[in-house]
Structure 1
Amino acid sequence: MSRAGRILVVDDDAAIRAVIGQSLRRAGHEVKAVGSLAELDRAFAAGAPDVLVTDVVLPDGNGLDMVAGLVADHPGLPVIVLSAQNTLTTAVRATEVGAYDYLPKPFDLDALTQAVAGALARGESDSVAPIGEEDRALPLIGRSPAMQEVYRVIARVVSNDLTVLISGESGTGKELVARAIHDLGPRRRAPFVAINMAAIPRELIEAELFGHERGAFTGAQARTAGRFEQAAGGTLFLDEIGDMPIEAQTRLLRVLQSGEFTTVGGARAIRADVRIVAATNRDLARLVADGQFREDLFYRLNVVPITLPALRERRQDMALLARHFLERAAEGGLPSKQLSEGAVGVLAQHDWPGNVRELENLMRRLAVLSRDVVITAADIGGVIGAPTPETVVPSDAGIEQAVRTRLARIEREEPDRLDDGTLYDRLIAEVERPLIEAMLARHGGNQLRAARALGINRNTLRKRLDTLGIEPR
């Protein structure tokens, strides 16, 4: 059982402070909650806590700037950062300033409780050298929970040289993750070298990786540096590692074990000063079981695993990604286009077997083919053969997708009503009615208990029943 500790919570939202405090107190901790940096200073004057939990955006300053100073003044203080600015940059910045962990809002209370327990058990935070404050384009796009977990792992590995194995379907962005790890880490000023193991003839793989001497084989007219030498001081990205021939796997394993290699036809050992990041769209564990991949190499590569979600598993990122690709297409000289809400609804219903790469290609294609500035649901459906917007929403698509689908139907059937000033009230009523009816049914028609479950008072519930025309039973 984890030990209890003194926890200081900093958040300008009183409701969040209350919820966090209640959850951590149930776990046995002593909790003090404040709403600003000024209150934080006064709390620290009375004694440093065992763990600090803080928001980033506070009314009198930036929480991350404060964390950097506190970690310097209180070595070993674990800090858990919470933020609604849930991008990769925020996650990495939190790690840079010395935070123990980073949780994007909205966060799971169990995850926060576990993070606090881990911080207390560990007793000290990671220290990470800052990489500078220059503006950087986001290497990865998405704010879904699945991508937040990817960001958290990336943030933890950028400062070290641990080997990373990225797995995921084709088109999910494995090389983007590898480049992010390189560009945000201490080796960023050295080369990033990528090699696709599936694209090289098996008899040439060793020469490609390790280089060769003049005369090492027919056609070797001069000494040639391999990818390990080309990436010296930087990162070597081994893409589609699952397609590497078994005999080449043996040579790679020896290099990872010894940290040295020799060129084909050479005798002098060369130090392998590279960070290894590998990627695959295949199940390496199954390949190991089938005897097609070395088990010892698998464990050497799988030090830090990162699994990228398929696009269909992060549908809430669809609009953000699509609009990003349209903007990038415009920057590349293609016509500038926008997406209608109906178009977003159709995108979210597609299964995307080609994942993010397929979506990017579609946006570039529509930027050229779409006649109007605004890309509609019909434009997308005509290209990908998507179902019409009134198709039943998949059960896992959630309320967000249901709203998008409803908007798509209104756009097609009643376009004038999108701008008549009643849209908000009509859609809220459509969601509110089944919610209230469900709560009344759950509590046997008892309005008091239904109101408590909904978090409203009984008089408000009665007014909503009258307004919506719900007959209480």
Structure 2
Amino acid sequence: MPTGTILVADDDAAIRTVLNQALSRAGYTVRLTSNANTLWRWVSSGDGDLVITDVVMPDENIFDILPRIKKLRPELPVLVMSAQNTFMTAIKASEKGAYEYLPKPFDLKELTSIVSRALEEPKVKKPVDIDDIGEGMPLVGRSPAMQEIYRVLARLMQTDLTVMINGESGTGKELVARALHDYGKRRNGPFVAINMAAIPRDLIEAELFGHEKGAFTGAQVRSSGRFEQADGGTLFLDEIGDMPMEAQTRLLRVLQQGEYTTVGGRTPIKTDVRIIAATNKDLRQLINQGLFREDLYFRLNVVPIRLPPLRERVEDIPDLVRHFFQLAEKEGLPPKQVDQAALNLLRRYRWPGNVRELENLVRRLAALYPQDVIGEALLEHELSQPTVSALEEEESENINLGASVERYLGNYFEQYGESLPPPGLYHRILREVEYPLISAALAATRGNQIKAAELLGVNRNTLRKKIRDLDIQVMRAFR
């Protein structure tokens, strides 16, 4: 039978009653208060084996006294509850020394399970003041799915565990990686990101590990790699599923031994980085296809985090819309909002591009339309424009590329029969392929050349030259 005294502090009488009934039935002695001063008096007198408290109290915020509680009684587990279900609430609870954070409304079975675990294995956490980090909101959303992510992130902040983030394109994988870094123990070190899909496969090893002078053609000087640049901080390996097998082998060796050699080098270099990987692909399927090493997967998938697509958390859309309008306003654009009918339309939309698509839409609304309040009719027009998901873009590119090459070769051999076509076939086919591919990328990004370059995995200056050489018309508003 469970034993122990639980101190409950909440200014909501209904919540105190519910907790008193549930914990008493579970066999605990419960003491109830509606203010922080009484709670502090009990704790300072040595009463209680565990604390359950709300954040915002009539007389004091619990985050103001939590460091004092942990300093006086570091062994006392404190469960923090809050209706302010934001990322920063979860982080502050963890950083200030709380044993666990529970968003309201909470599940009573889950709460009693946490209480039981906390009393059996009390944990002592060293509180860390995060006031110097700032009050910025790196993640937005109060849905149950996001609340679970906040709680996981809060537990990971003071660890160096390797994390694997899985989610569709546009769900915010790099944002989560940056949050883990910016609010974690390595926040004073560098955050270095590398996108495997945006780098030529034969250059990935040099990008990751650096290279010596003369290691390959064009290596005129020694160059540091991302591991060296991220030393003491965090290395974010985005789209890890696109990493070639040779580089996977070298990465596995680094994770196993904690050291690497540059391309063309012989001297092992010790590395001190936290690895966060991300993918929008099913790595298990890639393993079955022989395209991804299973042993590397287990090394990277220490703590998996799944980011839900926006269609699974439509209740977060109003908060996200307000957040993106506020960002646009800070950038000098006029303040705007959407009416209720427009919000309902946004909730019904499928969002193939997820949060990134919503952000682009909101910024476009802020920049291009004079209305202070955006209505349903305008949104219907915007959402009726062609949009494709990242996966559909990739598949359509592959289909169009193959069709263009087959069509071009077919025409040539039909024209010339068994004789060789005239010289220059490579460049003519390349032009045939590049024009529709670049045009499609510009259309998908609504003429934004920076995003189109990222989508294609090419340098922005290279894209500009291609646009000029191929005489591609770009939307005037985004030049």
Same fold, judged at TM 0.5 (above):
yes
Q: Which residue is 1:142 aligned to?
A: 141
Q: What letter is aligned with 1:34? A: T
| Larger mean Cα displacement after TM superposition, 299-308 or 327-336 | 327-336
Query: Residues 3 and 120 of structure 1 are in contact (CA less than 8 Å); yes or no, is this contact kept in structure 2?
Result: no
Q: Which residue is 1:393 aligned to?
A: none
Q: Which residue is 2:14 aligned to?
A: 15
TM-score of the pair, normalised by structure 1: 0.78
Q: Which residue is 1:212 aligned to?
A: 211
C-alpha spacing 1:289/1:128, structure 2 compared with 1 (3 Å): farther
CA distance in 2, matches of 1:72, 1:224: 48
CA distance in 2, matches of 1:68, 1:257: 38
Q: Which residue is 2:331 aligned to?
A: 332
Unmatched 5+ stretches in structure 2: 386-479
Query: Residues 370 and 379 of structure 1 are in contact (CA less than 8 Å); yes or no, is this contact kept in structure 2?
Result: no
CA distance in 1, matches of 2:213, 2:2: 64
Q: Which residue is 2:63 aligned to?
A: 64
Q: Which residue is 1:185 aligned to?
A: 184
Q: Which residue is 1:93 aligned to?
A: 92
CA distance in 2, matches of 1:233, 1:375: 46
Query: Residues 70 and 127 of structure 2 are in contact (CA less than 8 Å); yes or no, is this contact kept in structure 1?
Result: no
SS in 1 for 2:155: helix
Pairing 1:42-441 to 2, within 5 Å after superposition:
42-44=41-43, 47-133=46-132, 135-385=134-384
CA distance in 1, matches of 2:193, 2:111: 37
Report sequence identity in percent. Answer: 59
| Larger mean Cα displacement after TM superposition, 357-366 or 124-133 | 124-133
Q: CA deviation at 1:289?
A: 3.2
CA distance in 1, matches of 2:16, 2:212: 65
Q: Which residue is 2:390 aligned to?
A: none
SS in 1 for 2:237: strand
Q: What letter is aligned with 1:22? A: Q
CA distance in 1, matches of 2:142, 2:132: 22
CA distance in 2, matches of 1:300, 1:135: 33
Q: CA deviation at 1:68?
A: 1.3
CA distance in 2, matches of 1:22, 1:287: 50
CA distance in 2, matches of 1:217, 1:65: 58
Q: What letter is aligned with 1:251? A: R
Query: Residues 3 and 121 of structure 1 are in contact (CA less than 8 Å); yes or no, is this contact kept in structure 2?
Result: no
Q: CA deviation at 1:45?
A: 5.5
TM-score of the pair, normalised by structure 2: 0.77
Q: What letter is aligned with 1:297? A: L
User: Structure 1 residue runs of 4+, over 6 Å off?
Assistant: none
CA distance in 1, matches of 2:173, 2:288: 24
CA distance in 2, matches of 1:133, 1:62: 19
CA distance in 2, matches of 1:333, 1:169: 31
Residues 107-162 of structure 1 deviation map (CA, whole Å, 9 limit, x = unaligned)? 12122112112212222233343333453321111111111111111111111211
| Larger mean Cα displacement after TM superposition, 112-121 or 190-199 | 112-121
Q: CA deviation at 1:200?
A: 1.4
C-alpha spacing 1:289/1:23, structure 2 compared with 1 (3 Å): farther
| Larger mean Cα displacement after TM superposition, 20-29 or 219-228 | 20-29
CA distance in 1, matches of 2:10, 2:308: 31
Q: What letter is aligned with 1:75? A: P
C-alpha spacing 1:46/1:184, structure 2 compared with 1 (3 Å): closer
Q: Which residue is 2:465 aligned to?
A: none
CA distance in 1, matches of 2:4, 2:242: 49
C-alpha spacing 1:348/1:259, structure 2 compared with 1 (3 Å): same
CA distance in 2, matches of 1:289, 1:21: 52
Q: CA deviation at 1:54?
A: 0.7
Query: Residues 159 and 186 of structure 1 are in contact (CA less than 8 Å); yes or no, is this contact kept in structure 2?
Result: yes
Residues 200-243 of structure 1 deviation map (CA, whole Å, 9 limit, x = unaligned)? 12111110000000001111000000000111111100001111
SS in 2 for 1:102: strand
Q: Which residue is 2:436 aligned to?
A: none
Q: What letter is aligned with 1:193? A: V
Residues 22-68 of structure 1 deviation map (CA, whole Å, 9 limit, x = unaligned)? 11222222222211122213433664322111111111111122221
Query: Residues 197 and 243 of structure 1 are in contact (CA less than 8 Å); yes or no, is this contact kept in structure 2?
Result: yes
Q: CA deviation at 1:274?
A: 1.0
Q: Which residue is 1:447 aligned to?
A: none
Q: CA deviation at 1:321?
A: 0.5
Q: Which residue is 2:452 aligned to?
A: none
> What is the number of equivalent residue pairs in this alignment?
385
Q: CA deviation at 1:169?
A: 0.8
Q: Which residue is 1:417 aligned to?
A: none
Q: CA deviation at 1:311?
A: 0.5
Residues 74-109 of structure 1 deviation map (CA, whole Å, 9 limit, x = unaligned)? 122111100112111111111111111001112121
Query: Residues 202 and 245 of structure 1 are in contact (CA less than 8 Å); yes or no, is this contact kept in structure 2?
Result: yes
